[in-house]
Amino acid sequence: MIKNSYQSLAPHRGANFFKDCKPMNMKGFTLIELMIVVAIIGILAAIAIPAYQDYIARTQVTRALGEISGMKSNTEFLLTNGTLPTTGSDLGYSNSNLIGDIANNLESGLTVDFSAGDSSGTITAVLNGDVATVVNGSQIILSRDTIGAWTCVIVPSASSAWKASYVPSGCTSS
């Protein structure tokens, strides 16, 4: 005769069979924990990606300005020696993947104009190379007046996403 139901389930272990069983340690994450982590990563990505794209656009404009600013000293040297610069090559322009069409015409995005003959002129760079869409078509204009003072003006691209923060310090936006 069966004394209790424990013995019928586990006759070899006796009445304490279920009391001796310990819960198994579960390892891993629940589905809700994983969903929370994915949601947090999504929120961070939604904030970080636009900020990174703005950073890239701003640094591309600043880098292009730095590349053409080096030509100011060469311009001064040529003007002091009575020569009017006419091309970027005259000023020591080196290839840039931001300015012009690298594959076809290295100076397609760079214009040097000192044709007035009074030592005033401009160096203009058009960002149309390997640049962010928002700054593609922007112009950086370095202007020299007759007394040798240089100014920098940024002509924004036609993109409606252009931001004033893309203008480097020392330049103005038109």
Task: Give the pLDDT of residue 109.
Answer: 85
pLDDT band at 138 (very low <50, low <70, confident <90, very high): very high
Mean local confidence (pLDDT), 29-40: 94
pTM score of the predicted model: 0.75
Mean local confidence (pLDDT), 80-85: 92
Distance of CA 124 to the CA centre of its chain: 22
pLDDT band at 67 (very low <50, low <70, confident <90, very high): very high
Contacts with 61 (C-beta within 8 Å, 6 or more apart), sequence order: 127, 135, 138, 140, 154, 166, 167, 168
The CATH label, of 3.90.226.10, 3.30.420.610, 3.30.700.10, 3.40.50.1000, for the domain at 31-173 is: 3.30.700.10
Give the model confidence (pLDDT) of 93-135 as tens digits: 888 889 876 555 556 789 999 998 898 999 999 998 789 999 9
Task: Give the pLDDT of residue 40.
Answer: 96
pLDDT band at 21 (very low <50, low <70, confident <90, very high): low
**Who wins on pLDDT, 8 or 120?**
120
Q: Which of 145, 149, 148 is nearest to 80 (CA)?
A: 148
pLDDT band at 24 (very low <50, low <70, confident <90, very high): low
Q: H helices then E strands: how many in the chain?
A: 4, 5
Partners of 123 in beta bridges: 112, 142
Residue 166 scores a pLDDT above 60 = yes
**Who wins on pLDDT, 123 or 174?**
123
Mean local confidence (pLDDT), 70-79: 93
Domain regions of the chain by residue span: 31-173
